[in-house]
Structure 1
Amino acid sequence: MANKILTMNSVELFTGAGGLAIGISNAGFRHQAAIERDKDACLTIRSNQQRGIQAVADWPVFQADVSQFDFTTLQVKGEIDLLAGGPPCQPFSQGGKHQGWDDSRDMFPQFFRAVRELKPKAILVENVKGLLRSSFSQYFEYIILQLTYPEIVQKPGEDWVDHLSRLERHHTVGRHDGLSYRVVFRNLNAADYGIPQKRDRVFIVGFRSDLGVEWSFPAPTHSQEAMLWEQWVTGDYWERHQVPLCERPEVPRKQCSSLYNLQSSLFPPLTKPWRTVRDAIWDLPVPGSEEGFSKVLNHVVIPGARKYPGHTGSPLDEPAKTLKAGVHGVPGGENMLAFHTGEVRYFTVREAARLQTFPDEYFFPHCWTQTMRQLGNAVPVALAEMIASSIRTHLLRVRAIQV
């Protein structure tokens, strides 16, 4: 009976290289399907399965377009506890064409279909912060209401705006007997949860209404204030990394006002410090060295990095800028490391994987360009695990009551 209570089934859509899926697996869910259209991303997962990496060992990987996938073919014992996925972000990304619902890559309707057909106990969606822009506000309302009432489908010839109006009318009635979900969303900065990267992403979580679950997002565990306190008030950060006074940088100008307020305080922040790039990669050998090449997977120097206005890289002693799916020439130099000396270089694949909290044994079989695309699209593993663990805890409580 105990094993029955602890077993949790999940299905992952738009799996990519597996960041969200690994985090969910680490949280105690067992994937019944990992669906991804891109053959290179599927190869990444399968390569790690062949290498015996435990986190992905038993995933049934389907290289398929979600829009063409027949969910009735899944052989699942019992209900799906969690349906998760990050629909392609390009329609809503700051760097994209901003076509939103008019972009053929908008896969939210397919996620709605999966919810409708699988009827999972919980749902977890991740997407870019751009989804919250004012130009998409009406469509975002549509996403939330369609996830809330997935069985109220579009009629033939009805566009999404008219469908939204019908969903709104239904919502204001305040009574619904069919499949429905309690849905909440929040924009999270990954750095606030111990990820060594400033990464703002929208997360949407829903629980099936009949379960009666009351859920909220976990509180942040880390902060910039605590990082500044450890660096510039106590100096513990530099001592831990054995950085002598002569090699320590000046206080960044943008942080001076925050630091002044901290120095006026008698008590340190209650949270943990933001994790920096140095925190993430300090124990890796110098890339390109014999030790780095022979002992660490994917830790190879990529030449050609240079800085110019607006392309300055990620400072060593702060969380990295958001890794992006673009490569050379990404605005802001997010995939580039900036040293205090003024030198810059591209992150190695292993360093970028550390910033996304992938396990060190996870191998990326592709070239740097393709791998950075996969990493830039991924959800940080540790952040996914934290959210999924909270979801699982609430589902276990429901199961315990039902049993």
Structure 2
Amino acid sequence: MAEQLVLPFLNNSTSLTAVELCAGAGGQALGLHSAGFQPLALVDDDQNCAATLRENFKEANVYLEDLRTWNAKPFEGVDLLAAGLPCPPFSKAGKQLGSDDERNLFPVALEIIDEVKPRGIMIENVPGLLEPRFNDFRSELQGQLRKMGYASVWNLLNACNYGVSQLRPRVVLVALEKNLASDFSWSHPLEITPPTVGEILYDLMAENGWKQVDEWKQKANRIAPTLVGGSKKHGGPDLGPTRAKKAWESLGVNGHLIAQSAPQPDFNGNPCLTVRMCARLQGFPDSWFFSGKKTAAYRQVGNAFPPPVAASVGRELFRVLTTTKKVFAVSSRSSRYATSTYK
């Protein structure tokens, strides 16, 4: 089962520092936090995402701003810059316009990287980014990182290999200062089978006394297909396109809607998932707060990077980056951060 990742806020000599762009619901931030990274700044241009981040990371600076205008200079020298950049430019669910899509923020991220000069970089996106049509895009991106002094590598990770009850492949780019890059290696998948949809959601489906919950559990006997959150332009509170809905139907789940609550005792048919159920399938702890009404909350969940996957990569990054360490002096949420020299 996906590990539980709620920890006290890190603010001590053993933690490293992180800044995250397009932080969304905080899935990547939570995973990195559990791996030892103290989030100094979390940036997102969505009001509900910002409210979610503020509630769950009470001591971090949360910026409700467009990356194109955000001032990153105060965070120069941070240990890690992470990002969950918009996926529609590379997603098979969209037109895959890549660099021609107005939502492509990789160029903006590169400008921020050049300004902040982090020691390490972690960016996640959709598997479509690895398709041959984007070979030149990836090569150009890595070439620009090389000019800045980083060695970078791509990898395709599937959430189900890290204890998450979902078939969710994600592409992760890791870049490190050239003197550190050779020490990095991708973590090995866990030698465990994640729980089925029926097993992991049983208590949530049963909380209103649904009489048929045991029969449903037997039918929901596989891990979930990929949750689809949709974009700001398209997508509502449902579980994705036609093919995805059919996959959910085979598990006894109605993928056409997101429910407000679990089934009532005499409910008949395939139940809908609630936002909380979807969040558990993504690897979020049940205590995680999501701001906004149902559509806004589900969109945050559906677009999230599963925290256990981020934690796995984060632990390896933490190990590499602790070979030398840069310390930030943190005074308050509204403060600016001053860097010291390397130890």
Deviations 1:155-179 (A, max 9, x none): xxxxxxxxxxxxxxxxxxxxxxxxx
Kept after mapping to 2: 8 A contact 1:336/1:344: no
Tell me which amino acid in the other structure corresponds to 2:289: F
In the TM superposition, residue 397 of structure 1 has moved relative to its aligned partner by 2.8
Structure 2 CA distance, aligned partners of 1:140 and 1:345? 41
Structure 2 CA distance, aligned partners of 1:321 and 1:357? 14
Structure 1: gaps (5+ residues)? 151-179, 222-270, 292-314
State which drifts further: 273-282 or 21-30.
273-282
Tell me which amino acid in the other structure corresponds to 2:323: R
In the TM superposition, residue 116 of structure 1 has moved relative to its aligned partner by 0.6
Q: Which residue of 2 aligns with 1:379?
A: 305
State which drifts further: 37-46 or 351-360.
37-46
Q: Aligned to 1:207, which of 162, 173, 176?
A: 176
Structure 2 CA distance, aligned partners of 1:359 and 1:272? 19
Structure 1 CA distance, aligned partners of 2:239 and 2:14? 47
State which drifts further: 207-216 or 328-337.
328-337
Deviations 1:335-367 (A, max 9, x none): 956546994332111110001111111122322
Structure 1 CA distance, aligned partners of 2:298 and 2:306? 14
Tell me which amino acid in the other structure corresponds to 1:40: N
Structure 1 CA distance, aligned partners of 2:253 and 2:98? 42
2:10 is the counterpart of 1:7: no
Deviations 1:6-53 (A, max 9, x none): 23111000011111111111211111110100112112223xx2xxx4
In the TM superposition, residue 211 of structure 1 has moved relative to its aligned partner by 3.6
Q: Which residue of 1 aligns with 2:295?
A: 369
In the TM superposition, residue 119 of structure 1 has moved relative to its aligned partner by 0.8
CA radius of gyration, larger in: 1
| Structure 2 residue matching 1:333: 3-state secondary structure | helix
Q: Which residue of 2 aligns with 1:328?
A: 238
Which runs of structure 1 show a deviation greater than 4 angstroms over 4 or more consecutive aligned residues? 334-343
- After superposition, residues 181-260 of structure 1 pair within 5 angstroms as 181-211=150-180, 213-221=182-190
TM-score, length-scaled by structure 1: 0.66
Identity, % of aligned pairs?
A: 33
Tell me which amino acid in the other structure corresponds to 1:386: S
| Structure 2 residue matching 1:393: 3-state secondary structure | helix
Structure 1 CA distance, aligned partners of 2:151 and 2:36? 22
C-alpha distance 85-286 of structure 1, shift in aligned 2 (>3 A): same
| Structure 1 residue matching 2:203: 3-state secondary structure | coil
In the TM superposition, residue 107 of structure 1 has moved relative to its aligned partner by 0.1
Q: Which residue of 2 aligns with 1:349?
A: 275
RMSD (Å) for aligned C-alpha atoms = 2.5
Structure 1 CA distance, aligned partners of 2:13 and 2:152? 24
Q: Which residue of 2 aligns with 1:298?
A: none
Tell me which amino acid in the other structure corresponds to 1:101: S
TM-score, length-scaled by structure 2: 0.77
Tell me which amino acid in the other structure corresponds to 1:33: A
Higher helix share: 1
Kept after mapping to 1: 8 A contact 2:225/2:248: no
Q: Which residue of 2 aligns with 1:72?
A: 73
Q: Which residue of 2 aligns with 1:23?
A: 31
In the TM superposition, residue 369 of structure 1 has moved relative to its aligned partner by 1.8
Structure 1 CA distance, aligned partners of 2:113 and 2:305? 21
C-alpha distance 363-137 of structure 1, shift in aligned 2 (>3 A): same
In the TM superposition, residue 319 of structure 1 has moved relative to its aligned partner by 1.4
C-alpha distance 275-341 of structure 1, shift in aligned 2 (>3 A): closer
2:108 is the counterpart of 1:110: yes
| Structure 1 residue matching 2:187: 3-state secondary structure | coil
In the TM superposition, residue 191 of structure 1 has moved relative to its aligned partner by 0.6
Tell me which amino acid in the other structure corresponds to 1:198: L
Deviations 1:270-312 (A, max 9, x none): x22233213322333525x279xxxxxxxxxxxxxxxxxxxxx
2:237 is the counterpart of 1:317: no
Q: Which residue of 2 aligns with 1:273?
A: 193
- After superposition, residues 111-150 of structure 1 pair within 5 angstroms as 111-150=109-148
Kept after mapping to 2: 8 A contact 1:191/1:275: no
C-alpha distance 101-212 of structure 1, shift in aligned 2 (>3 A): closer
Tell me which amino acid in the other structure corresponds to 2:97: Q
C-alpha distance 187-356 of structure 1, shift in aligned 2 (>3 A): same
C-alpha distance 127-212 of structure 1, shift in aligned 2 (>3 A): closer
| Structure 2 residue matching 1:278: 3-state secondary structure | helix
Aligned length: 288
C-alpha distance 196-63 of structure 1, shift in aligned 2 (>3 A): same
Tell me which amino acid in the other structure corresponds to 1:324: V
C-alpha distance 182-384 of structure 1, shift in aligned 2 (>3 A): same
Structure 2 CA distance, aligned partners of 1:198 and 1:37? 28
Name which structure has the greater RCO, CA cutoff 8 Å, separation 6+. 2
Tell me which amino acid in the other structure corresponds to 1:220: P
